[in-house]
Chain A
C-alpha cells in the first residue's frame, strides 16, 4: 500500500507520512533483524500454508455431514471425520447403488451405533444433489473421480463445505470446472480439502516447512514412485448394465478413474508440485503399457518425464503388477540438498543429515498421527472458525499433471500444460443414466501409427 498514493493523500500533504511508511517497510531495515541462517527461503513465512495438526478438532457448533459415494474410501472418511471431531452428525448418505449404501449404513450402526434415517438415504445418479440439499453443512465426496467436478460444483453452489477424495478430475473439462469452482468456494468462504492426505502428515508437513525455508536450496528436480501390486477388479455379473459394471469395476476404467497414474499416483506427483512451491509442469513425455490388468481399458504401468520452468525435471513411475518390487514415495532435489520420504530426512549433497523427522519426540508430543484423521481435524477447525481453505486448486493441478502424463503415454506425444488445460477432452459419456455404453469403443490405447 505504501507505494500507492491516493488522491486525497496526494493533495492532503501526507507525502511525509507516506515516505515514513515506505521507509518502515524497507527491506534494508527489516533484513537486519534476522538470524544468522544462510538459508534463502523459497517463500516467506505466511506466504505458504502450514496446517495446525492438532490431535482433535476444537469443540464448537454441531456439524451435519453427508456422504456422497458409499465405497471403501467413503466409509473410511466417515470414520476419519468422526475420529477427528466431536459434534459431527452423519446426516445423509448417497450412492448410485443401494447395496453399497446399505453396507455403509449397517457399518455405521454396527461400529458407531449411528442410525441414518431412511429419508436421508438417497439412491441414483442424482443422489448427490439430494444429499447436498438435505440440510448438511459439509459433504464427503468419494465417488469415482469422473463425477467429482460436478458434485463439487453443486456443493459450492449450495454453500456446502467439501472433502474431495483425490484425484478430483479425469479430464480437461473437469480441470476447468474445478479451478472455477475452487475460486467460487473461496469467494463464499468455504473450507475445501482433498484426499491428498500427505499435506496433513506430520512427517511431510515438517519437511515442507523446512524446504520452503530453503533447507535444500532451489528445487532442481525429483523422483516419485507408486509401484504396487495389482488392484482389485470385478468381472461383469448378470443383470448389470454396461455402466453398472464399469462403476463397480471403476479402478480399471479410464473414463471413471483417470487410469492409475491419475487415480493413485497423483499422490506422489502432487507431493512434488507442493514441495516445490506449487509449480505446474510445462510438458510431459512418457511411456506406459498394459501387461497383466484383467478388466477395463487402463494400463498397468507408466513412466513419465515432466518438465517445469527453468529446466526443473520430475521423473514419475507407477505400476500395478504383482510379483515386482514395490516402492511408494517421493524424493525432491535442491541445489543444497535432497529430501526423501523414504527416510523422512534432508541431507546435503555430501550425505550429511541436515534434518530427520524425530519420531520419538513427536510420538510423545502428539496422540494423533493418522494423516487421514488430521486432515479432517483441519477441515472441521476451518469450518467452525468460518475460515476458508482451498486445497482444490493444487489438487486440480496435480490431477491435470497426471492426466498429461497419461495422455502422453497413450498417444506417444509430448503433451504441454497449455494444450492439456485448454483441451476439449471430456470423458463423461453422453447418456450415462441409460446404462448403455459403446463398450467396443473403450479400447486399451496404443501409441503411434502402424
Chain B
C-alpha cells in the first residue's frame, strides 16, 4: 500500500510540475511578460505604431510571434531557452542604462531575433492583392533565393514590427531637398599649394580640401604589429607626389547635389551608362538611378557621410565634380590614402596606442573594458558610434588635418585589390596605382561598427560585390547602390594643377 501511495504522490507531483512548467512556458511568451523585463520604453511604443499593431486589419501580432520561431516547432523551444537565458542574464547582471537599444534595431542584430519562418507562418501568400510590380519582382527573388542566399524578410521590412522614423524600403521618388544657402557661381581658384575650399558651381555645396605635400613613407605593417594581417606586407618604401584631399568623407548634402543633377529615371542598361560616361567629350554624366529605401538609413543626412553607393557611383561623382569645377578630382590611390592617414607617423595608428590595448578581441576583454579615451576622440568606430555613422566634426583631425580617415565609413580607393599587391610592387615605387586588373576594389579605413584592429593605418579591405548585393532583387543588379552594406563611402582627392607648387 505504502509503495502505491508513494508512486501516486510522485505521479501527482510530476503532473503538477509539468503543468506548472507548461504555464510558465506559455505565460512567459505573452506580451506583458516580455514587457515586464524589456523595460526600454521605445520597444513598446514603436511596436504599437507599427503595422503589426496599428495596421489596417486591426489584428495585433505579439512579441513572441515574431521574436520566436512558430508555435508547435521544436526550434521554438530551443530558441526560447537560448534567448530567454540571455535576457535573464542581461536583466540580472547588465546595467540597462548602458544598452544601446537603437543600435539593436539595425538588421545586423535584429536578424538574430526575428525568424523568417515566423513571418511566413502568417504571411503565406507573398503576392497578395494589390502587390506592386517591384514587390512581385522582390518576392519572386526571395522565393527562389531565400535558402540559397539566406535572405531575410526584414532585410527590406526592417520597420515591420517597430516603426523606425525615416525608414523606407520603396523606391526613392524625388531627389532630396537641396541644401539652402548661397549658390556658388564659380569654382575655387587654386593659386598656390595650400588648403582651399572647393565651391561647386550651381550648388550651395563646398568641400574643404587639405594640401598634402608629397613625400616618401613606409607602406604596410611589419610583422611585429599586433593584429595585423598578411596582406599588409611586405612593407614597401613608397613615394607619392603632392595632392589635395577632402578633409572629410563626401557628405550626403554633397552627394545629393550630384544625384539631383545627374540621376537617370528608369533603368538604363549599364553598358549604355558606361559608354556615355567614358566618352572623352562627355559634358553631362549619367548618374545614379533612384535607390530603394532611404540610403541614409533614417540616421540623418546633412554632413554625415554619404553611404551605400557603389565604387562606380563614387567614380562618377568625381567625374561630375571635375566637369563642374575644371579641377581634376578622382578617388585616392591606396598609396595616397595610406600616406595621408599616417600624416608622417609610422605607428599602428596616427595617434597613440596599441591595437591590442584598444581591440575588443580576446578572452580577457570580456572582464575588463579597454581605455579608449584617445582612439574614441579620433575616430567613430564600434565603441563610440552607437552602430551608425556620425557627424565628422565630432573627432580630432590627423596631422594633415584629415578627419575620420580611420573610422565612420570605409573609403574607396582607385586600386584593384590583391592580397599580394605589395609583393607585386617594387620597393621605392613612385605613385603606384596597384594591380593592373582585378575583380574587387580596395577599401580602406574602418567604419562605425569596426573593432579597433580594423582601424589600424595599414589595415586593408576590399569590396565584396556579390555579398553586398545579396538582397538586390533587380536583374541586372544595380551598378549604383549596394543593398547589403552600410558602412561604405568615399573621399575625393584633387590633383595639383600644373604650374602650382
User: Could you list which residues of chain A lie within 8 angstroms of chain B, going by C-beta atoms?
Assistant: 4-8, 10-13, 157, 173, 176-177, 179-180, 183-184, 187, 416, 418-419, 421-424
A13 with B18: CB separation less than 8 A: yes
B475 within 8 A of A: yes
A178 → B minimal CB distance (Å):
10
A183 with B25: CB separation less than 8 A: no
On chain A, the residues within 8 Å of B475 by CB distance are: 416, 418-419, 421-423
On chain B, the residues within 8 Å of A5 by CB distance are: 72-74, 77
**Given contact pairs A6-B71, A180-B136, A418-B475, A12 touches B127 in the complex (Cβ within 8 A):** no
Could you jot down 18 A-B contacts, CB within 8 Å? A5-B72, A5-B77, A6-B72, A7-B25, A7-B72, A10-B74, A11-B21, A176-B133, A179-B140, A180-B127, A180-B136, A183-B127, A184-B125, A421-B140, A422-B137, A422-B474, A422-B475, A423-B475
Which single member of B21, B72, B140 contacts A176 (CB below 8 Å)?
B140
On chain A, the residues within 8 Å of B266 by CB distance are: 424
A416 to B141, CA, bound (A): 14
B26 within 8 A of A: yes
B76 within 8 A of A: yes
A345 → B minimal CB distance (Å):
36
B77 with A7: CB separation less than 8 A: yes
Encoded as 1 (CB less than 8 Å from any A CB) or 0, chain B from 19 to 30 comes to 101100110000
On chain B, the residues within 8 Å of A416 by CB distance are: 475
Quick one: closest B residue to A7, CB to CB? B25
On chain A, the residues within 8 Å of B191 by CB distance are: none
B72 with A4: CB separation less than 8 A: yes
Chain A at the B interface: SS class: helix
A423 to B473, CA, bound (A): 11
10 tightest A-B contacts by CB?
A422-B475, A180-B127, A6-B72, A11-B22, A176-B136, A183-B127, A419-B475, A5-B74, A180-B136, A422-B137
A428 → B minimal CB distance (Å):
12
A13 to B22, CA, bound (A): 11
On chain A, the residues within 8 Å of B22 by CB distance are: 7-8, 11-12
Number of B interface residues in the complex (CB < 8 A): 29
On chain B, the residues within 8 Å of A157 by CB distance are: 129
Which single member of A11, A173, A179, A422 contacts B25 (CB below 8 Å)?
A11
A89 → B minimal CB distance (Å):
28
On chain B, the residues within 8 Å of A4 by CB distance are: 72-74
On chain B, the residues within 8 Å of A419 by CB distance are: 475-476
B77 with A10: CB separation less than 8 A: yes
On chain B, the residues within 8 Å of A183 by CB distance are: 125-128
B141 with A422: CB separation less than 8 A: yes
Encoded as 1 (CB less than 8 Å from any A CB) or 0, chain B from 106 to 149 comes to 00000000000000000001111101010011001100000000
B426 → A minimal CB distance (Å):
41
User: Could you list which residues of chain B lie within 8 angstroms of chain A, going by C-beta atoms?
Assistant: 18-19, 21-22, 25-26, 71-74, 76-77, 125-129, 131, 133, 136-137, 140-141, 266-267, 473-476
On chain A, the residues within 8 Å of B18 by CB distance are: 11-13
B254 → A minimal CB distance (Å):
30
On chain B, the residues within 8 Å of A422 by CB distance are: 137, 140-141, 473-475
A392 → B minimal CB distance (Å):
12
B77 with A177: CB separation less than 8 A: no
A63 to B72, CA, bound (A): 43
On chain B, the residues within 8 Å of A173 by CB distance are: 133
A422 to B144, CA, bound (A): 12
Quick one: closest A residue to B18, CB to CB? A11
A168 → B minimal CB distance (Å):
15
A184 to B124, CA, bound (A): 11
On chain B, the residues within 8 Å of A8 by CB distance are: 22
A13 → B minimal CB distance (Å):
7
A177 to B266, CA, bound (A): 19
A424 to B268, CA, bound (A): 10
A179 with B127: CB separation less than 8 A: yes
On chain B, the residues within 8 Å of A10 by CB distance are: 74, 77
A136 to B131, CA, bound (A): 25
Quick one: closest A residue to B20, CB to CB? A11
Identify 17 new A-B residue pairs, CB closer than 8 A, beyond the known A7-B26, A180-B131, A422-B475: A4-B73, A5-B74, A7-B25, A7-B71, A11-B19, A11-B25, A173-B133, A176-B140, A179-B136, A180-B136, A183-B125, A183-B126, A183-B127, A419-B476, A421-B475, A422-B137, A422-B474
Quick one: closest A residue to B24, CB to CB? A11
B238 → A minimal CB distance (Å):
43
Quick one: closest B residue to A6, CB to CB? B72
A393 → B minimal CB distance (Å):
11
A424 with B127: CB separation less than 8 A: no
A208 to B39, CA, bound (A): 61
On chain B, the residues within 8 Å of A421 by CB distance are: 137, 140, 475
A442 to B267, CA, bound (A): 21
Which single member of B76, B128, B140, B141 contacts A184 (CB below 8 Å)?
B128
Quick one: closest A residue to B74, CB to CB? A5
On chain A, the residues within 8 Å of B125 by CB distance are: 183-184, 187
Quick one: closest B residue to A182, CB to CB? B127
On chain A, the residues within 8 Å of B126 by CB distance are: 183
Most buried by B among A6, A157, A183, A184: A183
On chain A, the residues within 8 Å of B72 by CB distance are: 4-7
On chain B, the residues within 8 Å of A423 by CB distance are: 475
On chain B, the residues within 8 Å of A13 by CB distance are: 18
Quick one: closest A residue to B135, CB to CB? A180
A72 → B minimal CB distance (Å):
32
A418 to B140, CA, bound (A): 10
On chain A, the residues within 8 Å of B137 by CB distance are: 176, 421-422
A423 to B475, CA, bound (A): 7
On chain B, the residues within 8 Å of A179 by CB distance are: 127, 136, 140
A331 to B345, CA, bound (A): 74
A210 to B140, CA, bound (A): 31
A28 → B minimal CB distance (Å):
22
Quick one: closest B residue to A280, CB to CB? B144
B113 → A minimal CB distance (Å):
19
On chain B, the residues within 8 Å of A12 by CB distance are: 18, 22
A180 to B19, CA, bound (A): 46
B143 → A minimal CB distance (Å):
10
A8 → B minimal CB distance (Å):
7
Most buried by A among B72, B141, B267: B72
A165 to B127, CA, bound (A): 23
B129 with A184: CB separation less than 8 A: yes
Quick one: closest B residue to A181, CB to CB? B127
A93 → B minimal CB distance (Å):
28
On chain A, the residues within 8 Å of B141 by CB distance are: 422
A176 to B267, CA, bound (A): 18
A413 → B minimal CB distance (Å):
11
On chain B, the residues within 8 Å of A177 by CB distance are: 133, 136
A399 → B minimal CB distance (Å):
15
On chain A, the residues within 8 Å of B71 by CB distance are: 6-7
B473 → A minimal CB distance (Å):
7
A335 to B476, CA, bound (A): 36
A5 to B70, CA, bound (A): 11
A11 to B24, CA, bound (A): 11
